[in-house]
Amino acid sequence: MSTESTPSRTFTLASRASELAQIQTNIVRDALTTKDPSKTFATSFMATGGDFNQSQALYLIGGKALWTKELEVALQDNTVDMLVHSFKDVPTVLPEGCEIAGVLEREDPLDSLIVRKGAPEGWKTLEDLPGGSVVGTSSVRRVAQLKRKYPGLVFKDVRGNLNTRMAKLDAPDSPFAAIILAKAGMVRLGWGNRITSDLGPPTLLHAVSQGALAIEIRTNDAAARELCRNLTHWQTEWRCYAERALLRVLEGGCSVPVGVHTTLLDEMPEGAQEGERKARLAITGSVTSLNGDRHIEHSLEAEVRALEEAEAVGVRLARLLIDTGAKEILDEINADRETKIELAKTTDQKVDA
């Protein structure tokens, strides 16, 4: 497939096959069509490794690459032209020859609490749940942060796409009093009315880049890059790249319980051109031990005038966290992961986190 822009070229957008992924892909397709009606855009959907393995904890079986690997193979084979991702699922280091070319304006990045249907009227927040209540989430970040604040609750892994997790919550024999999901996904699926309450700072710092959609392309596809850049919301891009720089320094290629929250203050007008933009970036980051007994959290604020300066603030914050105790926590988490992976190999069993 040629990567040159011609009148007859069809740009194929690909993503996972879940309902949410398809909705997100259609959002991007429609935005591209609105920006350039002369171009033709098609969609393609496929299953990924994360869809096939629904039994093991994500941080034991490959982390974020589980959601992107098969898609990136299709991209590199020229089978498709653009990948639409939930930005939080994208590894901080991409395969050679691939790049993020577009970042759409962010939905609310917070996590939300959803109680099961028929729950008592008084169950509005985590504080309202009786001791011993089971709360479902597949995120070690959420569990680590919430264990330290709610030691009386039981946190249990729940896998599957959002439809599957909501069905597990509402099933007559459900063990779950509630589950925790990203608010953005609930809103995009039209399920905002099921959200019981939001979980934000200081209770819970959200995942890196949560709520944002990113478009991945081949690095040599100048036509696709130009189309994607026309969709990019620079304020979201700066915030997300600062968060991803933080995570890249901390994770060392593995999934770790890192929480984050960013804001851009004193933003330039929407029409400001590159080179004229400036903003005051405030970023808070945290690393929490798996059992919640240790939590390292710091914040930084700085004026930034370019994407690279926003990333540099994220790197500074990561180093501050490492220097004040996060390294010890991360080393323990990685050792715990390796132990469980080896146990799974020797016993031929699937080991949960």
Q: Which residues are part of the catalytic machinery?
A: 89
**Sequence letter at residue 125:** T
Quote the CA–CA distance of 213 and 223 in Å, as a whole number.
20
Quote the CA–CA distance of 92 and 269 in Å, as a whole number.
29
Quote the CA–CA distance of 329 and 144 in Å, as a whole number.
11
Q: Half-sphere exposure (CA, 13 Å, Cβ side) for 259?
A: 29
Crossing angle of helices 307-321 and 234-251, in 10° steps, is 30
148, two tokens: 């330290």
Quote the CA–CA distance of 92 and 274 in Å, as a whole number.
24
Q: Which long-range contacts (CB under 8 A, 24 or more apart) does 75-79 make?
A: 75/14, 75/216, 75/217, 75/218, 76/218, 78/1, 78/3, 78/218, 79/1, 79/12, 79/14, 79/44
SS3 321: helix
Helix, strand, coil in percent for the chain, rounding step 5: 40, 20, 40
Buried-state track 259-272, b at ≥16 Cβ within 10 A, e below 16? bbbbebeeeeeeee
Closest listed residue to residue 164, CA positions, set 280, 317, 16, 316: 16
Closest listed residue to residue 159, CA positions, set 141, 183, 136, 178: 136
